Amino acid sequence: MATIEQAPLDMEKLEAFVFRAVDEVGATLNTALVVMGDRLGLYRALAGAGPLTPSELAERTGTAERYVREWLNAQAAGGYVEYDPESGRYTLPPEQALALTDSESPAYLPGFFQIALGSVIDSPRIADAAQTGEGVGWHQHNHDVFEGCERFFRPGYNANLLDSWLPALDGVVEKLERGANVADVGCGHGSSTILMAKAYPNSTFTGSDYHAGSIETARQRAREAGAENATFEVAPAAGFGGTRYDFVTMFDCLHDMGDPAGAARHVREALAKDGTWMIVEPKAGDRVEENLNPVGRAYYGFSTLLCTPASLSQEVGLALGAQAGEARIRDVVTSGGFTRFRRAAETPFNLVFEARP
C-alpha cells in the first residue's frame, strides 16, 4: 500500500494562521455589530459629534449604556472608532463616518454588512442543500438579504450608472433622452430602474423580477421617489412582457438565474433590431486564480451562500456563480442570438457588457 508522506509542520505558519483566524472571527462578529450600530443609529449619533462617552451615546440614541459601552469597545478594537483612555471618550473618524452613515456616498458600507449578515443567518439551509445538491431560491431568504442587496448595490449604481456606464454604450444615452422603451430585468427593489427613470423622464421603464416581494417593494420605492414613468411586473427573465424594447438591462442578476441562456434568447426576442442589452455583473477574471483576492473572496462567499443555490433552484440550474468571468458571460449571451458583445466599462466591483443583436 502506498504511503502518503506528510509535509513537516511549520509551527510559525500554524501560529500565524491561528492568529489570522482570531482576527477573522472578530470580523465575522463585527458584521452583526455594524448592522446593530446602523439599526440603532449609533454611527449616525457619533458622526460629527466629537468625542462621546458611552452614556452620552446611549442617551442620544435611547439605548442601554452597558450594551453601548461593550459595542464601543468592540468597535475601538476593530479600528472603527477611536478611544481616548484619558477621557474615556470614543470618536468616529470622518472617513468611517462617511462610509458608515452617508447613504449617498459610493463608499457607503452598511448594506454590504446587512446582506452578509442575512446570508450567514440563512447558511444552515445552504449547508443542508450542499448535501443533496438542491437549490435555495432567492425568494427563500430573509429580509436582510433583500434590503441589504438593495442598499449594497445602490451606491455603486448612483456613482456609475448615469455618469459612466450608460455613456459607455453606443447611442443609448441619446435614445434615453429622446424617449426609449426600457426593460430592467431582475430588478429586485428597483434602485437601478428608479435611478434611470428619474434621469430620463421621456423614457418609460418596466422593472421585472420573479420575486413578488421584491416587486412590491420596488413599486413602493417608485411611488416614494415620484418615478411615474417606472412600472413593475412579477415575471421571470425568460418571460417578461413587452416587445421592441430599445434597451434592456440586467444588474447583478444574470448569474443568479437558472437558465441565463434562455433569458438571453428572450431578451433577443423582446429587443428592437437596433436595441442594446446592458449586463452588469460582478467583477471577475475568467480563471479562479485571478479571483483569489479580497473582492473575489467576498464574491465567492456570496456566490456559495446566495447566487449558486439561487441558480440551482431554478430550471436548468446552470449555476454560473458570481465569479463567472467575461468568457462565460459572452458564451451565454451569444448563445441567445446576440452577434456583438463587448466589455463597455468596469469598476473595482463590476463588469459592464454591451450586447447587440
Could you list the residues that contact ligand SAM (CB under 6 A)?
A: 138, 149-150, 153, 186-188, 191-192, 209-211, 214, 236-237, 251-253, 256-257, 310, 314
Give me the least distance between CB of 311 and ligand SAM, in Å please: 7
Strand partners of residue 82: 91
Choose between 236 and 309: whose C-beta lies nearer to ligand SAM.
236
> Whose Cβ is closer to ligand SAM: residue 191's or residue 229's?
191
- Closest approach of ligand SAM to the CB of residue 175, in Å: 21
- Closest approach, Cβ 187 to ligand SAM, in A, equals 5
Across the chain, where does the E strand assignment appear? 82-84, 89-91, 181-185, 204-209, 230-234, 245-251, 271-282, 340-346, 350-356
- Looking at beta carbons only, is 188 or 275 nearer to ligand SAM? 188
Whether 200 and 172 have beta carbons less than 8 Å apart is answered as no
Q: With the CA atoms of 348, 302, 329 and 247 taken in that order, what torsion angle do they form, in degrees rounded to the nearest 10? A: -80
Q: How far is the CB of 89 from ligand SAM (least distance, A)?
A: 39
Distance, in Å, from the CA atom of 160 to the CA atom of 99, rounded to the nearest integer, reads 17
**Which residue lies nearer to ligand SAM by CB, 52 or 354?**
354
Report phi then psi at 184, rounded to 5.
Answer: -110, 105
Inter-residue contact 37 to 45 (CB < 8 Å): no
What are the grid coordinates assigned to 76, written together? 475601538
Question: Nearer to ligand SAM by C-beta: 122 or 252?
Answer: 252
* Cβ contact 85:51 at 8 Å: no
Please state the closest distance from residue 153 (CB atom) to ligand SAM, in A: 4
Give the orientation angle of helix 326-335 with respect to helix 260-270, to 10 degrees: 50
In the complex, the smallest distance separating the C-beta of residue 344 from ligand SAM, rounded to whole angstroms, is: 17
Nearer to ligand SAM, 52 or 109 (CB): 109
Q: What is the smallest separation between the CB atom of 6 and ligand SAM, expressed in angstroms?
A: 42
Looking at the Cβ atoms of 203 and 313, the one nearer to ligand SAM is 313
- CB-based contacts of 186: which residues, under 8 Å, 6+ apart? 208, 209, 210, 237, 250, 251, 252, 253, 254, 256, 257
Q: What angle do CA 106, 107, 111 make, to 5 degrees?
A: 95
Task: Return the residue nearest ligand SAM (CB atom).
Answer: 188
CA distances (Å), origin 103, targets 93, 108, 155: 17, 6, 7
Q: Which is nearer to ligand SAM, 34 or 237 (CB)?
A: 237
Minimum gap (Å) between residue 149 Cβ and ligand SAM: 5
Question: Under the phi-then-psi rule, with left for phi > 0, alpha for psi from -120 to 50, and beta for the rest, what region is 41?
Answer: left
